[in-house]
Structure 1
């Protein structure tokens, strides 16, 4: 066997927006596999904000990407060679690999797509993959959300936010979203959110949230951090929960990020802050994917994918996550 593999690797820690000085492309030749390994030809690559954190050397829930190593990411692809007893040539798989055209895997954090799956394989990186599973477990379990409560969803037009808000509506909750353009706000309204705030056109975010959530916020789903988090803290109900899922507003920061300035509201409202990692629910992924698939089939869940064709566009697509120009779950079609 001999395969030419194209990769994007970490050449240096990025300072601000990722450029080709930090993330560079190279080629390698894959000639053989060890026992217990398989070779996957990647078809789709997931482009996620969390990858920016992995590029830094700050402590996190996953170790930093080492200098010289391929950019870590989720992928879906076909097994083309195998010396792994649980995987055969032709199996379709999804899981943690990287920005590369081929991946050698020992099966860690890798799952098979059922042979009889009626869904396109890219769904396993979006609505039925980490994005949909994050929304599902965060809303149905970690948030403690109850019917009749109010959920404030940041990045509501994004991949996680849009699905999470719809799940909360299915649970009988009032859901208010935050989005950054008229087009995105219209999409959020189409999904059935009770209200939506265009944060880019709002001069007083605290007042805007108070107006949209007249009975206060029971759960704030935080994907962004920054000023929006500060405004949300001033609108929390007693015993509210702040679900910390991401902080995209600070991922490209070149200086220490101050705040949140209103953090004292956690004490004043007897509120809780709950960190969330979808990997904590790994053993329950199949049940959640099945439920989400049923909702999609029944038309209860809608979602968007922003598919960019061409492996060479990984970095360009990645940076679109931070300027707000993406429109749904960002994927690279290799």
Structure 2
């Protein structure tokens, strides 16, 4: 008996901003399960900024997507058919077989999850209780070594990682948390909902000037999701011994020419700064600590989260393109109907 899966494939490598023509919707037929396989119906798939980098055929920390093949990425779903006792039918699982509604693969590629906390959907395991939250936790505490009393600046602060960073910073004793975002609505959310002490719209004027006004006493930690002028502004505002966790570079993801670097790199020397890039795949050993702390914060209501939900696997590309243009608040997910 065959089972039909709807999947999204990359058919051309975008130059500049991706367009719908760079993708296609394909139908894949699965046969009966082989020994050791499971079939999973996805409930939510994740679209993330890092996926833009995988659409380019260049050296990176993860291989690029291959043309004319289904893309991959984070997803959560339920086992609907199984050949292994460890993953019975009905088990909620996380995996990297996103961009499709049904997946059939070896059981080793799936990890069983507890049922989500009361009132939360399974998508929470793609966001604040998943890789997104772990990235924020590791970047802030392990990479940037935030300490109580620090002043923290977060770029791209209204996104899924940024909102988690700001909340963790306060829970860990930051003196002041500042964020940048791309609209007045997002700026208001940062201060009213996520507890940032100050926030600004980077479109309102030079980031350097706005950051100096928001942090007159300087910053100690910078969590960078953007790069470009935001990194330059952080270098300008760092106190001696400042630390940066470099997580993303949204400013150059869709650039068609070389992005100029900050003009004030000498500050790294004169102020004794530490800038460290990281990808979360090297820090899964910290997942247990993260799960314990973030799980407790989430259960106690000390951490809040938002999602932007797009319905239908056929709308996955629209969700991704919207993410690239900042249409999301919090985590962007696609709900599989």
Q: Which bin holds the TM-score, normalised by the shorter protein?
A: over 0.9
Contact residue 18 and residue 315 of structure 1 kept, 8 A: no
* Displacement after TM superposition at 1:176 (Å): 0.7
**TM-score calculated relative to the size of structure 1:** 0.94
How far apart, CA to CA, are the structure 1 residues paired with 2:256 and 2:109?
A: 32
More off after superposition, 53-62 vs 79-88:
79-88
Give the match for residue 178 of structure 1: 180
1:260 and 2:262 are equivalent in the alignment: yes
Give the match for residue 299 of structure 1: 301
Give the match for residue 211 of structure 2: 209
1:240-279 to 2 correspondences below 5 Å: 240-279=242-281
Contact residue 116 and residue 122 of structure 2 kept, 8 A: no
1:154 and 2:152 are equivalent in the alignment: no
* Displacement after TM superposition at 1:107 (Å): 4.2
Give the match for residue 138 of structure 1: 139
* Displacement after TM superposition at 1:89 (Å): 1.9
Give the match for residue 59 of structure 2: 59
Alpha-carbon displacement from aligned partner over 1:155-191 (angstroms, at most 9, x marks no partner): 1111110111011011111111111111111100012
More off after superposition, 101-110 vs 72-81:
101-110
1:24-173 to 2 correspondences below 5 Å: 24-108=24-108, 110-115=110-115, 118=118, 119-173=120-174
Structure 2 unmatched ranges of 5 or more:
none
Distance 1:44 1:11, change over 3 A: same
How far apart, CA to CA, are the structure 1 residues paired with 2:226 and 2:109?
A: 26
More off after superposition, 103-112 vs 29-38:
103-112
1:315 and 2:317 are equivalent in the alignment: yes
* Displacement after TM superposition at 1:71 (Å): 1.4
Distance 1:44 1:115, change over 3 A: closer
State the secondary structure of the residue aligned to 1:214. Answer: coil
How far apart, CA to CA, are the structure 1 residues paired with 2:145 and 2:297?
A: 21
Contact residue 138 and residue 286 of structure 2 kept, 8 A: no
Q: How many residues align?
A: 333
State the secondary structure of the residue aligned to 2:21. Answer: coil
How far apart, CA to CA, are the structure 2 residues paired with 1:197 and 1:320?
A: 22
1:211-250 to 2 correspondences below 5 Å: 211-250=213-252
Distance 1:35 1:256, change over 3 A: farther
How far apart, CA to CA, are the structure 1 residues paired with 2:218 and 2:100?
A: 46
More off after superposition, 260-269 vs 317-326:
260-269
State the secondary structure of the residue aligned to 2:9. Answer: strand
1:290 and 2:292 are equivalent in the alignment: yes
**TM-score calculated relative to the size of structure 2:** 0.94
Give the match for residue 195 of structure 2: 192
How far apart, CA to CA, are the structure 2 residues paired with 1:84 and 1:224?
A: 43
* Displacement after TM superposition at 1:322 (Å): 2.0
* RMSD of aligned residue pairs (Cα, Å): 1.7
Contact residue 36 and residue 85 of structure 1 kept, 8 A: no
Structure 1 unmatched ranges of 5 or more:
none
